[in-house]
Amino acid sequence: MFSDKKVTYYFDSALSYVEKIIEKHKAIFLTDNNVYNKHPHLFEGLNTIVIHAGENTKQQKTIDEVINQLIQKEATRDTWLIGVGGGVITDITGFVAGIYMRGINTGFIPTTLLAMVDAAVGGKSAIDVGMYKNIIGLTKQPSFLLYDYSLLQTLPNEEWSNGFAEIIKHACIKDATMFEMLETTSIDYFKLNNEALASLVYKNVMLKSAIAQHDELEKGDRKLLNFGHTIGHPIETTHQISHGNAISIGMVCAAFFSSEIINLQQNLTQRIIALLEKYNLPSAYCFNKDKVFELIKMDKKRTGTNINFILIAAIGEGFIKELSLVQVKQLIDKHC
Contacts with ligand NAD by CB under 6 A lie at 32, 34-35, 38, 53-55, 58, 85-89, 91, 111-112, 114-115, 118-119, 122, 124-125, 134, 151-152, 154-155, 159, 162, 243
The least CB distance from residue 236 to ligand NAD, in Å, is 9
Of the candidates 39, 169, 223, 243, the residue annotated as catalytic is 243
Cα torsion angle, 231, 185, 146, 11, sign: negative
The least CB distance from residue 159 to ligand NAD, in Å, is 5
Shorter beta-carbon distance to ligand NAD: residue 21 or 138: 138
The least CB distance from residue 90 to ligand NAD, in Å, is 7
Of the candidates 26, 218, 302, 317, the residue annotated as catalytic is 218
Nearest by Cα to 316 from 180, 166, 122, 164:
180
Active site residue 52: no
Shorter beta-carbon distance to ligand NAD: residue 151 or 253: 151
CA distance 207 to 324: 30
Three-class DSSP category at 315: coil
Shorter beta-carbon distance to ligand NAD: residue 247 or 323: 247
User: Helices 87-99 and 60-72 sit at what angle, rounded to 10 degrees?
Assistant: 60
In sequence order, what E strands does 44-96 have?
48-51, 80-85
Taking 3-state DSSP, the helix, strand and coil percentages for the chain, each rounded to the nearest 5, stand at 55, 20, 25
Active site residue 222: yes
Active site residue 233: yes
Of the candidates 222, 223, 245, 280, the residue annotated as catalytic is 222
Active site residue 294: no
Active site residue 302: no
Active site residue 39: no
Active site residue 214: no
Shorter beta-carbon distance to ligand NAD: residue 106 or 269: 106
CA distance 206 to 209: 5
Active site residue 243: yes
Radius of gyration, CA atoms only, the chain: 20
* CA atoms lying within 13 Å on the CB side of residue 183: 15
Active-site residue list: 102, 124, 166, 208, 218, 222, 226, 229, 233, 243
